[in-house]
Amino acid sequence: MSAGDRTPPPAAPPVDPVDDRPSASAGGAGTLRRALTALWHDPPAVAGTLVLLVLLVVGLAGQWLAPAGTNDVDVDQMLRPPSGAHPFGTDELGRDVLSRVLVAARVSLQVGLVSVGIALAVGVTVGLLAGWYGGWTDNVLMRGMDVLFAFPVLLLAVAIVAVLGPGLVTATTAIGVVYTPIFARVTRAGVLAVREQVFVRAAVSIGTSDLRILRRHVLPNIAAPLIVQTSLSLAFAILSEAALSFLGLGVQPPAPAWGRMLYDGRGFVTDAWWLGFFPGAAIFLTVLAFNLVGDALRDVLDPRQLTVSEARRSTR
């Protein structure tokens, strides 16, 4: 028939990636590429990305960028306001605040990345097992996650660090544990949605091994919500690290940490505003950058994921 040589324009709105992807093979890389392209069209996200790049450089090269040593005590230069020699001023021991802020970036980023890495690895594993096998496996694992979810975030982290002893490793572990359940829940929900899809059922019917199905078919299809959750969790994890180190439960002195600098400076703040301002501004900028990127990713990848999880799971 001669009619119909005109193909309809693709006016389809962004649909759930779980529903519209018949083949899983293109999933993971495609999702990421789609996300990165979209980021470039969102000015706040570009700003966030730039801040993150600067942070990365500072995190890697902070020691060399710092104008002074982090523990160069100078009793003649105590509590000096910002000046040419000390752009962020000096603290109560005469140490250069700028240098300490720069070097502390590494700690924050490291704790944030590693703890979210732990939460991601454990949470995704738990979620995959629970969602895929269902039944008792599901029940036991997810009730365990519910238990962890039943504590306010910071309280649980404080309790864990308190018994294990303060320090970098325990703080990282504690934050990792605290953010695990959210990844387990996101993953499980994704698996349940994918499990009944035709291509997964087909893979099962031809005897593909569970591990292979999970890796090749299921994981790529739940990549979108996981990417979003990861970037938002990084923001929360860095806030949590700052809170723990404020309470003296993070990296131990004399190593500098933003939260601890605020704690130490709090008594002087009415006389030396710079002690309270710069470390806090560093935390704020870092968290803001992760949030901006995370929000942009969510808008692109997972617009329907409501703010409930975010509202339920803040930093406290």
Question: Applying CB under 8 A, which residues contact other proteins?
Answer: 1-9, 11, 44, 143-144, 146-148, 150-156, 158-165, 235, 239, 242-243, 246-249, 259, 262, 265-266, 269-271, 273, 276-277, 280-281, 283-284, 287-288, 291-292, 295, 306-308, 310-312, 314-316
Tell me whether residue 199 or residue 277 sits nearer to other proteins (CB atom).
Answer: 277
Cβ distance 156 to 148 under 8 Å?
A: yes
Q: Which residues pair with 90 in a beta bridge?
A: 96
Residue 109 CB, nearest approach to other proteins (Å): 16
Cβ distance 248 to 260 under 8 Å?
A: yes
CB within 8 Å of 224: residues ≥ 6 apart: 17, 31, 35, 301, 302
DSSP label at residue 215: I
**Residues 125, 128, 131, 132, CA torsion sign:** negative
Tell me whether residue 96 or residue 241 sits nearer to other proteins (CB atom).
Answer: 241
Residue 42 CB, nearest approach to other proteins (Å): 13
The answer to whether the bond into 254 is cis (omega within 30° of 0) is: yes
Which three-class secondary structure state does DSSP give residue 90? strand
Residue 159 CB, nearest approach to other proteins (Å): 5
Alpha-carbon dihedral of residues 205, 185, 223, 302, nearest 10 degrees?
Answer: 120
Residue 201 CB, nearest approach to other proteins (Å): 26
206 φ, ψ to 5°?
-90, 10
d(Cα 25, Cα 37) in Å, to the nearest integer?
20
Residue 243 CB, nearest approach to other proteins (Å): 5
Residue 222 CB, nearest approach to other proteins (Å): 23
**Residues 290, 296, 299, 301, CA torsion sign:** negative
DSSP 3-state percent helix, strand, coil across the chain (nearest 5): 70, 0, 30
Tell me whether residue 199 or residue 273 sits nearer to other proteins (CB atom).
Answer: 273
Tell me whether residue 27 or residue 127 sits nearer to other proteins (CB atom).
Answer: 127
d(Cα 307, Cα 93) in Å, to the nearest integer?
44
Tell me whether residue 220 or residue 250 sits nearer to other proteins (CB atom).
Answer: 250
Tell me whether residue 73 or residue 269 sits nearer to other proteins (CB atom).
Answer: 269
Tell me whether residue 75 or residue 163 sits nearer to other proteins (CB atom).
Answer: 163
219 φ, ψ to 5°?
-55, -50
Tell me whether residue 28 or residue 144 sits nearer to other proteins (CB atom).
Answer: 144
Residue 165 CB, nearest approach to other proteins (Å): 7
Residue 111 CB, nearest approach to other proteins (Å): 14
d(Cα 194, Cα 222) in Å, to the nearest integer?
8
